[in-house]
Amino acid sequence: MRKVDVIGIGQTDVREHWARSLRDLAVEAVEAARRDAGVERVDAIFIGNMAASSLCGQANLASLVADACGLLPVEAVTVEAACASGGAAVRAAYLAVAGGAADRALAVGVEKMTDLLTDGVTSALATAADADYEAAHGASFVALNALLMRRYMHEHHVRREDFAPLAVLSHQNALDNPRALYRQPMTADDYARSPLVADPIGVLDSAGIADGAAAVVLSATAPERRSKRPPVRISGSASATDTLALADRRDPLHWTAVGHAAGAACRMAGLRPKDLDLFELHDAFTIVTALTLEACGFADRGTALKLAAEGRLARDGDLPICTLGGLKGRGHPVGASGVYQVVEVVQQLRREAGKAQVKDARVGLAQSVGGSGSVAVAHVLQI
Q: CB of residue 365 vs a second copy: minimum separation in angstroms?
A: 17
Q: 2-41: which residues touch a second copy (CB under 8 A)?
A: 21, 23
- Give the nearer residue to a second copy in terms of CB position, either 131 or 192: 131
The radius of gyration of the chain's CA atoms, rounded to the nearest angstrom, is: 19
Nearest CB to a second copy, comparing residues 83 and 167: 83
| Positive or negative: CA dihedral 62, 63, 65, 70 | positive
187 binds a second copy (CB under 8 A): no
> Shortest approach of a second copy to residue 237 CB, angstroms?
9
Decide if 260 is catalytic: no
> Which is catalytic among the residues 17, 171, 282, 332?
332
Tell me, yes or no, if 332 is annotated catalytic: yes
Q: Give 249's contacts (C-beta < 8 A, 6+ positions apart).
A: 242, 243
Question: What number of CA atoms fall less than 13 Å from residue 242's CA on the CB side?
Answer: 29
Sole window of 130-138, 144-152, 270-278, 288-296 interacting with a second copy (rule: CB under 8 A): 130-138
Tell me the one-letter amino acid at 230.
Answer: P
Q: Is the backbone of residue 315 left (phi > 0), alpha (psi -120 to 50) or beta? A: alpha
Relative orientation angle of helices 334-349 and 85-98, to the nearest 10 degrees: 60
288 lies in the binding site for a second copy (CB under 8 A)? no
- Residue span binding a second copy (CB under 8 A) among the ranges 4-12, 163-171, 234-242, 288-296: 234-242
Question: Alpha helices of 296-383 — where are they, by DSSP H?
Answer: 304-309, 326-330, 334-349
Question: One symbol per residue from 321 to 360: x for binding a second copy (CB under 8 A), - otherwise; what is it?
Answer: ----------------------------------------
User: Interaction with a second copy in 38-77: which residues (CB under 8 A)?
Assistant: 50-51, 53-54, 56-64, 66-67, 72-77
Binding of a second copy by 124 (CB under 8 A): yes
- Closest Cα to residue 55, out of 369, 245, 336? 336
- What end-to-end distance do the CA atoms of the chain give, in Å? 19
Determine how β-strand 278-280 pairs with β-strand 363-370. Answer: parallel
At CA 112, angle to CA 111 and CA 115, rounded to 5? 165
| Cβ partners under 8 Å of residue 165, min gap 6 | 188, 305, 308, 309
Distance of alpha carbon 302 from the chain centroid: 23
Nearest-angstrom CA–CA distance, 173 and 163: 16
Residue 124 or 213: the one with the smaller Cβ distance to a second copy is 124
Question: Binding a second copy by CB under 8 A: which of 118, 136, 272, 311?
Answer: 136
Which residues lie across from 233 on neighbouring strands?
5, 382
Residue 367 Cβ, how far from a second copy at the closest point, in Å? 14
Shortest Cβ 300–a second copy spacing (Å) = 22
Q: Which is nearer to a second copy, 253 or 314 (CB)?
A: 253
Element housing 11 (H / E): strand 4-11
Task: Please report whether residue 108 would count as binding a second copy according to CB under 8 A.
Answer: no
Each residue 238-257 as x (binds a second copy by CB under 8 A) or -, in order, gives xxxxxxx---x-------xx
What does the chain come to in residues? 383
Shortest distance in whole angstroms from residue 214 CB to a second copy? 18
Q: How many residues bind a second copy (CB under 8 A)?
A: 64
Q: Does 374 bind a second copy (CB under 8 A)?
A: yes
Q: Which is nearer to a second copy, 4 or 349 (CB)?
A: 4
Residues in contact with a second copy by CB under 8 A are 1, 21, 23, 50-51, 53-54, 56-64, 66-67, 72-82, 88, 91-92, 95-96, 98-101, 123-124, 126-132, 135-136, 238-244, 248, 256-257, 260, 370-371, 374-375
Indicate which residues carry an active-site annotation: 83, 332
